[in-house]
Homo-oligomer: A and B are copies of this chain.
Amino acid sequence: MSTTNSPLRVAVLGSRGKVGREICRAVEAASDMELVASVDAGDAIEALLEANAQAVVDFTHPDVVMDNLDFCVRHGIHAVVGTTGFDDERLATLRGWLEASPATGVLIAPNFSIGAVLMMRFAAQAAPFFDSVEIVELHHPTKADAPSGTARRTAELVAEARRTAGSAPMPDATSTALDGARGADVDGVPVHSVRVRGLVAHQEVILGELGETLTIRHDSLDRAGFGPGVLAGLRAIDDHPGLTVGLEHFLDLP
């Protein structure tokens, strides 16, 4: 990526999946990128070399993503990864590989929605200024897990910010309650999971103190919402060699 102004040569792994197709579309629509290879199950990954790809986007499967990344890092191809299943062991393995290829960057992000990333960041920043913080996440009723991963992560970040600030426990005078009425407790933060037909993926963080509340809400209505976050990752990856976890480190925020 030494030449400036020539479009970034991007390949998409998992290109026929639901998200992969949206990513292909977004890369093709970006004037500063070129989609040079689309690879899915059954295709040879060597296509990346033939196409001279500078960076890949990986939305594949936990079973194959490590092989993909091994190949990319060995060939000095940056990777922006939305595939799930990364535990400490996998991250350590990746760091080892990257030591041998110090100019290569890998971004692992559990969420490529810029709106969701900002919601989590703002919620954690605001939390120490308020007595109470609760989270309501709302999804379609075919979702298997409650709370959502984003809600759990938000609650953990809020709890950590409150611990660091030495916040007092949240006020709650509830003395008579039905089971479940006050939500799931995630690290001390109540989380409520609404499942209603017609919803897609939504979350509200409600922060309150005497006389006022601040509500930060994210609505994700379409998988196309991942596009801008993936493009932001691709644009910044050359400036971030090594392993990065979380899209927020690539956004230019104070």
Contacts and interface: CB of A to CB of B under 8 A. Distances in A.
Interface of A: 113-116, 118-119, 122, 125-126, 129-134, 136, 138, 141-147, 170-186, 190-200, 206-228, 251, 253-254
A177 B115 contact: no
Contact of A181 (B118, B191, B198, B213): B191
A168 to B, nearest CB: 11
Given A174-B144, A181-B192, A197 B214 contact: no
B213 A196 contact: yes
Contacts of A126: 118, 122
Contacts of A113: 212
Given A199-B208, A209-B198, A175 B225 contact: no
Given A173-B141, A180-B180, A182-B193, A227 B198 contact: no
A192 B180 CA distance: 8
A138 to B, nearest CB: 7
Contact of A177 (B129, B193, B194, B209): B193
